[in-house]
Amino acid sequence: MPDANPLRRLSAAGQSVWYDHIQRSMLTSGRLARLIAEDDLRGITSNPTIFEKAIAGSGDYDAALRRELQRNPQQSSRELFFTLAIDDIRAAAAALRPTYDATDGVDGMVSLEVSPDLAHDVDGTVREARELFARLGLPNVMIKVPGTVPGLHAVERLIAEGVNVNVTLLFSVERYVSVAEAYLRGLERRRTCGLPLDRVASVASFFVSRLDTALDPVLAQRRPELQGQIANANAKLAYQEYLEIFGGAHFAALRAAGARPQRLLWASTSTKNPAYPDLLYVDKLIGPDTVNTLPPATYDAFRDHGVVTRTLDQDVETALAQLAQLPELGIDLSAVTDRLEIEGVNAFIRSFETLLAAIAVKTSPLLA
């Protein structure tokens, strides 16, 4: 008898469901354990904006801040943040460890992002990612690294060192291909050194809905029928590249040495336009060997009325035709995705600065 829960059916169809949210109360209340047990939740992603809302917008962390300051009053807001975040990531990873073991290391992952102000600093990113991975000391954690041009070099070095990496803020197919190639180069370096490949894990987080948000105002004037279509078309094309890269001879040799594919992860999958279906960026992107990380409202919506049908590799010709129309309309897709990357990095930097300021406000009376 088929499972009644669409989230569980999605996992059974080969797409892992991860949760794009973390907060201490969901860990301490048993809610995360319920999501894992009832929905077959297989991972968690976090970012500076998520932690900003969790720490600045709740009292969940006040007692922990007090304890940390009693232990070491000299800690900076940045040091305090990473202490709090690492505690959360460790607790979530412990809850998901049975999933990691049951899937032989494919799922059960929890992601923590490096400081967003390091997005264009290769050495700084590598240093902090290495330190965070070592502090966490768990096999089922990933360090998120922005997929900027400097980030590509960081990804290659980290994979070569055996650090699990979630490459984030990907908007263009071209950049995604560069990320996959950086992953392969990292594996090659590792193999050359005689190091094992079988437990190095990585995903490429491809942001979806923000592309429609950026293009729809222009398309409304020039080709209204393309509104709400381009983001999913772009993601489908990225998946075709994934199939070619990880189905090819180059990766076959690495796979024989124990390497795993770097799965595509669909991020930014909440619907920003209320006129669109609430699952527009989930229903259309269902396919094997992928991940969709769902924010809470989208997660609940899919549990309630999600339809599990393999759609990711359907209508690819239509998707290509839609993308091919953009230059004819005077739209430079590369320029748009470049801008979205810049805006994404800047948004995370602002969230991180707001978060550190909120921690300073919370701790100043304790220090006094």
Short-list 4, 34, 48, 59, CA closest to 304: 4
Residue that has been written with the tokens 């590598």 in this structure: 126
Short-list 256, 251, 209, 255, CA closest to 230: 209
- Identify the pLDDT of residue 2: 66
Residues in the chain: 368
**CA distances (Å), 151 to each of 132, 165, 167, 175, 232, in order?**
16, 11, 8, 11, 25
Query: Token digits for 57?
Result: 């917008």
Q: What is the CATH number of the domain that holds 223?
A: 3.20.20.70
User: CA quadruple 133, 135, 136, 139: dihedral positive or negative?
Assistant: positive
Residue-level pLDDT, tens digit, the chain, 368 residues: 668 999 999 998 999 999 999 999 999 999 999 999 999 999 999 999 999 999 988 889 999 999 999 999 999 999 999 999 999 999 999 999 999 999 999 999 999 999 999 999 999 999 999 999 999 999 999 999 999 999 999 999 999 999 999 999 999 999 999 999 999 999 999 999 999 999 999 999 999 999 999 999 999 999 999 999 999 999 999 999 999 999 999 999 999 999 999 999 999 999 999 999 999 999 999 999 999 999 999 999 999 999 999 999 999 999 999 999 999 999 999 999 999 999 999 999 999 999 999 999 988 887 76
DSSP 48-102: HHHHHHHHHT-STTHHHHHHHHHH-TT--HHHHHHHHHHHHHHHHHHHHHHHHHH
Confirm if 207 and 169 have CB atoms less than 8 A apart: yes
- Residue range 148-205, pLDDT digits in tens: 999 999 999 999 999 999 999 999 999 999 999 999 999 999 999 999 999 999 999 9
**CA distances (Å), 287 to each of 77, 323, 329, in order?**
41, 20, 30
For residue 56, is it within any domain? yes
Query: Token digits for 204?
Result: 């490429």
Short-list 216, 152, 213, CA closest to 186: 152
- Identify the pLDDT of residue 316: 98
Query: Token digits for 235?
Result: 């993601």
Residue 55 is part of which domain span?
6-367
Q: Phi-psi bin for 200: left (phi > 0), alpha (psi -120 to 50), beta?
A: beta
**CA distances (Å), 22 to each of 108, 122, 136, 212, 286, in order?**
14, 27, 16, 26, 24
- Residue range 225-235, pLDDT digits in tens: 999 999 999 99
Contacts of 33 (CB under 8 A, 6+ apart): 95
CA 77 to chain centre: 25
- Identify the pLDDT of residue 366: 73
By annotation, the residues acting in catalysis are 144
Short-list 124, 22, 25, 53, CA closest to 348: 53
Please count the structural domains in the chain.
Answer: 1
For residue 1, is it within any domain? no
DSSP 211-278: HHHHHHHHHHHH-GGGTTTHHHHHHHHHHHHHHHHHTSHHHHHHHHTT----EEEEE--S--STTS-T
Pairing verdict, β 141-146 and 263-267: unpaired
Contacts of 268 (CB under 8 A, 6+ apart): 207, 208, 209, 210, 281
